[in-house]
Amino acid sequence: MGNTPDSPYYADVSPGRGTLPPRAWYARSDARRLILDGSWHFRLSPTAEAHDASFAGDGFDPGTDPGWHTVTVPGHWVLQGHGAPAYTNTRYPFPVDPPHVPDENPTGDHRRVFDLPADWPGGGGCVLRFDGVESCARVWLNGQELGDFQGSRLPHEFEVGRLLRPRGNVLAVRVHQWSAGSYLEDQDMWWLPGIFRTVALLHRPQGSVADFTVHSAYDHRDGHGVLRVLSEPGGRVSVPGLGLELETGATARVPVEPWTAETPRLYDATLTTGGESVPFRIGFRTVAVEDGVLRANGRRLLFRGVNRHEFHPETGRTLDEETMRRDVVLMKQHNINAVRTSHCPPHPAFLDLCDELGLWVIDECDLETHGFTHVDWRGNPVDDERWTPALLDRARRMVERDKNHPSVVIWSLGNECGSGSGLTAMARWIRSRDPSRPIHYENDYAYPDSDLHSRMYASHAEVEEIGRREGPAKPFILCEYAHAMGNGPGGLSEYQRLFEAYERCQGGFVWEWNDHGLLRHTEEGQPYFAYGGDFGEEVHDGNFVCDGLVFPDRTPSPGLVEYKKVIEPVRLTGDGAAGTVRVANLHDFADLTHLSLEWSYEVDGEAVGAGTLPLPAVPAGGSAELALPAPPSTDRHGEAMWTLRAVLAGDTSWAPGGHLVAWAQLPAPAPARGRDETGRGVAPHRDGQRLTLGPAVFDAATGALTRLGAVPVRGLRLDVWRAPTDNDEGAPWVPGSGPGAAWRELGLHRMRHRVDAVETDGEALAVHSRIAPAASDLALRTVYRWSWAGGERDPLRLIVTVEPEGEWDCPLPRLGVRLELPAAYDQVRWFGGGPGEAYPDTRAASVVGRWASGVDAMQTPYVRPQENGARADVRWTELHDGTGAGLRVDAGEDHFWLTARRWTDEALDAATHTPDLVPGDTVHVHLDHAQHGIGSASCGPGVLPQHRLAAGPARFSFTLSALDTAGDGEAVIRP
Ligand code: IPT
C-alpha cells in the first residue's frame, strides 16, 4: 500500500481537515438556523481532477456554462439523471489497492448562493453542518477553502462565521464518489454518491452550547432516576415533569417512570446556557451485562429486531421524516422492539423517533471492509494502523452525535471488517468515553472487542448449542438472521422458541427491514423495482439487494406478517374444548393493562358469537389461566373454533385502539378429521372419444378431465415444480445451499407425463401415469382415480396416489395437481388459512377463516418474481366469475394448499422483474397436498428437516363440483 505524501486528499487515509470536533445532534434550539437544502447548481465530471476550483469563487456563473445543471440537495446525483447507481454486496466496484481510487471517479461540483435572512443575528459564530455526504467532500465558502472530509453517514461541521456576508454567500462543495473512505464503506447496498442529508447553517451565539451529555440512569431497585447533564459551557437544566431545576454537572436522584422500548416514557427538559436554550428529552434507563445476560433496568432483554438500512425507492438514502416515522410505526405495529442501524448511523432524527415511539437501538458505526475477503483480507484497513485515526474519527462522530438517546443501548463498531487493531482502538475509545453502553461487534465468543457474543445466520442447531453451553458467557444475539430475501424467511418460529428457552440467547435482528429496489418504469410506463445489474454495472450482485421484510415502497411482505405473529409479546394457548385459555405475558417490562382480549366463536369460519374477556394485569413474564365463555348456542353444524385476539385497549402513538397485537385459534372441540375416502361410485360411461362420469367429461384416450358441468377444465395433472424462490436458489457463494440447482439439474421443471392406462371399472375411472424428467430413470408413478357417487348433488371425487421410483435425494418443491380454468373464474373464496400466503415454515400468521380475493390480489409481488401466494390449510375453495358460476373444490382427507395465478409457473420462473408477468386467458390453479418449506438459504440455513418435502409414497384427494348462481349467493352444485 502506498500513501505517498502527495496523495490527493480523497485518497488519503486521514479523515480530513478543517472540521470541528464532533458533538451531540439536537433537532431544536432557540439559536437561529438556515437550512440550505433545495435546488443547487451541479456539474458532473468523470474524474476528480477534471476541473479546477474556480467554480467556488464569486466570479463564477454556472448559468452560462452548458456543463452545469441543477440537482436537489439532499439527494444523490445518480438518482437525478446524472450517472447511474450501482449495486454490489461485498465486492468493491473498483480495484482493491487501498487507499487509491480509480481515475474514473465521478465528481459532483455543487454550488449554491444564499443570503442571510434580514434578521440573522450578529455576534457569536456560525457553523456549517453537513449531516451526510458520500463519500468525500471538499468545501469552500465565499471562495475560501474550509477543508475536506470523509465518513459519509456522519456529520461534519465547519466554523464559518468569519466568512459570512449578508448577501450573496457562495457555498461550493466538490463531492467525489470514490475516496479512501470508500474502502471503509463497503456495506451491502447501492453505491449512491451525493450530498444526501441536510446542509444547514447554524448560528452559534456567544455562550451557546458547544456540546452536552445527558446521563440518565435508572435504578430499578428503588425506582429512582439519576440525572446529570454535562454541558460546555455550563448552565441550568429544568425538567418540569419532575419538578427539577439543577445546574449542569449536578446530580439529581428522583423517583421516575423508566424508559423502555415498551414504555418509552420521556421527560421534556431544557438546557439553558448563557447563549442558547436547547429543548431535549430524557429517558431514564440503565443497560448492563450482568452474569452473562444483557439487562435493561434490571430485566433481561429479548430483541425482536430488524436490521434497517436507510432506503427509499426514489431518493435512495435521502429519507424524509415521514418515511422514517412510517418505518418506526410499522415496526411497532408488527411487534418489533429493536433496530440495528445496519451498517452506519442513520439520520439523527430516526433516533429521536426511536426514543419517542420505543425501540431498542444498536447504533452501528459507518464501517465495513467486507470486500477485503476477496483478497484474503490483505490490506484490511482495520488491521493497518495508518487507518486508525479514520476509524477513531468515525467512532467519535457516531458516539458524540448520538450519545443522548435513551433508545441507543449498544454501540456497534461496524460490520464485516474481519478483525484488527483498529477495531480494538475504537472499542477502547468508546469504552472510555461511554462506559454506560455495551459494545457490539459480530465475532466469536472470545472476541475481546465486543461485550456481546454476536453471530450472523447461525443455524437453529448452533443457537441451541450456544444456549446450552455451561459456564460464564456473554449475552448471545444474532445480529443478522432469517434472510428475508424474496419469499420467506422460513424457520422464524423455531428460532423464537430457542430465544425463549435459553436465557443467554437474547434474540436477533432479521436481515433486513426493506427491499432496496429502485423505482423504474418500462417504456409503456409500467412501474417496477430495479435491482443490481439493471444499470449496466460490470460487477453486481443482482437482486441480493432485495431482501427485506417490506417491499421497496414499504408495503409489508408476508415475511413481516409472519414475523409479527412469531414475536408476539403475548402468547395465547389453551383448550377450546375444555373452555380454558392461558395468557402468557412475554413482554420484558409491560403488564397487560394496555390490551384487551376479544373472542369470537366460529362455525365453519363464520362467527356465531363474539365478546370480550376481562384480561388481568399479568406482569411481564407472568401468565394467567382464563375461562372461556360457554360456546354460543347455534344450529349451525360444522368445524367450531375459538379465535382470541389481544388488541390495544386504547390509542397509542403508533397504533389506534383495537390494533391487533397477538392472537390464537383453538379448535372447539377438535374437529373429526377424515372422511370415507373409498371413492366408490357409479360406472363411467363411454361415448365415442369421451368418457362421462356424472357431471364430468374426460378424454377417453388420455383420461384427461375436460369439463365439469359447465366448467371447462384443462391440463389437470400432477405437478411437483415451483418457480424457485431466492431461498430455494441458495447463496451464490455456497453451491448447493438451496435445492434449486438440483431441481433444475434433475429436470423437475420439464417433467414428461406418460399415460400408461385409462381404466374404467364399475365404480371409477383410473388413469395410470408415469411422470419423469428426460435423461433420468427417476419417476413418480401416479394414479388418478375419479369417481362419482351417483346423486345429483354429489361431487366428482379425485384420489391421487403417487409412488416414487428410484432414489430421490433432493426434496420435491411441491406435490399436488395443477389445472387450468377460463380467465373469467378469477374470483376466489376459500375456507382455510389466510388472508396472506403461507408455506410449511412460514405459516404461523395464517388465520383459519373464510376469505375472498381476486386472483390478482393473491399474488405477492416479489421484486424478482418467484413462487408465492399459497394459502394453507384450505378446507374448500370456490373459483368463480363473480356471478357465482365456477368450480368448487373440497378437501378430502387432508386440507390442501391453494394457489391461483394468471400465468404458469414456467412464466413465473422465467420472469426477472414484475412487468414480465403478463396475464393470459387462463387461471392456473394449484391444489397441493404438500409444499417444501422455504428456509433462509439465500444467506443462511436451509429448510429444517421437519419442513422438508421428501419424495415418498403419497395419497391425497379432493372433490370437485361445478357452481351455479343461487338466489342467496350460496353455492349449489350443478350436475
Ligand atoms: C451479511 C452482511 O452483514 C449484510 O450486510 C448483508 O450483506 C447480508 O449478509 C446478506 O444480505 S454478510 C454474509 C456474507 C453472511
pLDDT value of residue 3: 45
For the CA of 343, the nearest atom of ligand 1: 5
Cβ contacts of 5 within 8 Å, gap of 6 or more: none
Take atom 7 of ligand 1 and give the residue whose Cα is closest: 188
Q: Does residue 968 carry a pLDDT above 50?
A: no
Q: Cell numbers of 870, please?
A: 399459497
Encode pLDDT of 288-339 as tens digits.
999 999 999 999 999 999 999 999 999 999 999 999 999 999 999 999 999 9
Q: Give yes or no for a cis peptide into 569 (omega within 30° of 0).
A: no
**Average of pLDDT values for 933-937?**
98
Encode pLDDT of 178-237 as tens digits.
999 999 999 999 999 999 999 999 999 999 999 999 999 999 999 999 999 999 999 999
534 pLDDT band (50/70/90 cuts)? very high
Beta bridge partners of 879: 828, 887
What's the gap in Å between 489 CA and the centre of ligand 1?
15
Q: Does residue 971 carry a pLDDT above 70?
A: no
* Rounded Cα distance, 922 and 545, in Å: 33
**606 SS3 class:** strand
Q: Which amino acid is at 268?
A: D
For every residue of 446-464, DSSP letters joined together read T-TT-SSEEEES--HHHHH
pLDDT value of residue 972: 36
Radius of gyration of the chain (CA): 32
Can you point out the beta strands (E) in 855-953? 871-874, 876-880, 886-891, 896-901, 922-931
User: Looking at 121-125, 214-218, 676-680, which range is the least confident one?
Assistant: 676-680
**Average of pLDDT values for 713-731?**
98
CB neighbour burial string for 635-669, b if at least 16 within 10 angstroms, e if fewer? eeeebbbbbbbbbbbeebebeeeeebbbbbbbebe
Q: Does residue 255 carry a pLDDT above 70?
A: yes
What's the gap in Å between 416 CA and the centre of ligand 1?
8
> What φ, ψ does residue 543 adopt, rounded to 5°?
-90, 15
Take atom 5 of ligand 1 and give the residue whose Cα is closest: 188
Residue of 372, 413, 511, 729 best suited for mutating to test ligand 1, as the one with most atoms within 8 Å of CB: 511
Q: Give the mean pLDDT of the chain.
A: 96
Q: Does residue 4 carry a pLDDT above 80?
A: no
pLDDT value of residue 975: 29
* Rounded Cα distance, 377 and 373, in Å: 5
* Rounded Cα distance, 581 and 662, in Å: 14
7 pLDDT band (50/70/90 cuts)? confident
pLDDT value of residue 444: 87
For the CA of 456, the nearest atom of ligand 1: 15
For residue 316, the 8-state DSSP code is B
Inter-CA distances, 43 with 37, 146, 642, 711, Å: 17, 20, 65, 64
Can you tell me which residue has the cell 432479521?
A: 510
Q: Kindly tell me the sign of the dihedral angle through the C-alpha atoms of 189, 193, 198, 204.
A: positive
Residue 256 has, within 13 A of its CA and on its CB side, a CA count of 33
Q: Cell numbers of 797, please?
A: 371425487
**Average of pLDDT values for 442-471?**
95
> What φ, ψ does residue 825 adopt, rounded to 5°?
-85, 65
Take atom 4 of ligand 1 and give the residue whose Cα is closest: 188
Alpha helices, DSSP H, located in 380-459: 388-402, 421-433
Take atom 14 of ligand 1 and give the residue whose Cα is closest: 939
**Average of pLDDT values for 149-176?**
98
What's the gap in Å between 187 CA and the centre of ligand 1?
9
For the CA of 547, the nearest atom of ligand 1: 11
* Rounded Cα distance, 859 and 870, in Å: 9
- Which of the following is catalytic: 134, 480, 562, 867? 480
pLDDT value of residue 302: 98
Residue of 366, 456, 543, 729 best suited for mutating to test ligand 1, as the one with most atoms within 8 Å of CB: 456
Beta bridge partners of 225: 218, 254
For residue 550, the 8-state DSSP code is B
Q: Does residue 843 carry a pLDDT above 90?
A: yes
Cβ contacts of 924 within 8 Å, gap of 6 or more: 818, 819, 820, 900, 901, 902, 903, 904, 905
Torsion of CA 438, 439, 444, 446, to 10 degrees: -60
* Rounded Cα distance, 241 and 493, in Å: 42
For the CA of 544, the nearest atom of ligand 1: 11
75, 195 Cβ separation under 8 angstroms: yes
Q: Which amino acid is at 189?
A: M
541, 634 Cβ separation under 8 angstroms: no
Q: Taking the model in full, what pTM does it have?
A: 0.97
Take atom 10 of ligand 1 and give the residue whose Cα is closest: 939
Q: Give yes or no for a cis peptide into 182 (omega within 30° of 0).
A: no
Cβ contacts of 7 within 8 Å, gap of 6 or more: 99
What's the gap in Å between 568 CA and the centre of ligand 1?
26
Nearest to 494 by CA among 942, 896, 949, 939: 942
**Average of pLDDT values for 115-135?**
97
**33 SS3 class:** strand
967 pLDDT band (50/70/90 cuts)? very low
Q: Does residue 711 carry a pLDDT above 90?
A: yes
Span between the terminal Cα atoms of the chain, in Å: 82
User: Looking at 596-610, 822-836, 953-967, which range is the least confident one?
Assistant: 953-967
Q: Does residue 2 carry a pLDDT above 70?
A: no
- Which of the following is catalytic: 416, 442, 464, 729? 416
For residue 745, the 8-state DSSP code is H
**Average of pLDDT values for 751-776?**
97
Residue of 88, 370, 412 best suited for mutating to test ligand 1, as the one with most atoms within 8 Å of CB: 370
Q: Cell numbers of 758, please?
A: 385409462
Residue 697 has, within 13 A of its CA and on its CB side, a CA count of 13
Q: What percent of the chain has pLDDT over 90?
A: 94
Encode pLDDT of 689-703 as tens digits.
999 999 999 999 999
941, 460 Cβ separation under 8 angstroms: yes
* Rounded Cα distance, 169 and 18, in Å: 19
* Rounded Cα distance, 140 and 145, in Å: 4
680 pLDDT band (50/70/90 cuts)? confident
Ligand 1 site residues, Cβ closer than 6 angstroms: 89, 188, 343, 415-416, 456-457, 480, 483, 511, 544, 547, 939
For every residue of 753-788, DSSP letters joined together read EEEEEEEE-SS-EEEEEEEEETT---EEEEEEEEEE
What's the gap in Å between 194 CA and the centre of ligand 1?
24
480 catalytic per annotation? yes
Inter-CA distances, 669 with 282, 577, 590, 601, 847, Å: 52, 4, 33, 11, 18
Encode pLDDT of 874-907 as tens digits.
999 999 999 989 999 999 999 999 999 999 999 9
Cβ contacts of 137 within 8 Å, gap of 6 or more: 130, 148, 149, 156, 173, 174, 175, 176, 195
Encode pLDDT of 519-533 as tens digits.
999 999 999 999 999
**Average of pLDDT values for 118-140?**
97
Cβ contacts of 4 within 8 Å, gap of 6 or more: none
Q: At what angle do helices 558-566 and 492-501 cross, to 10 degrees?
A: 20
Encode pLDDT of 800-833 as tens digits.
999 999 999 999 999 999 999 999 999 999 999 9
* Rounded Cα distance, 627 and 619, in Å: 19
- Label each residue of 650-710 as H, E or C: CCCCCCCCCCEEEEEEEECCCCCCCCCCCCCCCCCEEECCEEEECCEEEECCCCCEEEECC
* Rounded Cα distance, 455 and 464, in Å: 13
464 catalytic per annotation? no
Q: Does residue 673 carry a pLDDT above 70?
A: no
Can you point out the beta strands (E) in 453-594? 453-456, 476-481, 505-510, 518-521, 527-530, 570-575, 580-585
pLDDT value of residue 471: 80
Q: Does residue 674 carry a pLDDT above 60?
A: no
Domains defined along the chain, listed by start: 9-204 (2.60.120.260), 211-286 (2.60.40.10), 289-565 (3.20.20.80), 569-667 (2.60.40.10), 685-964 (2.70.98.10)
**558 SS3 class:** helix
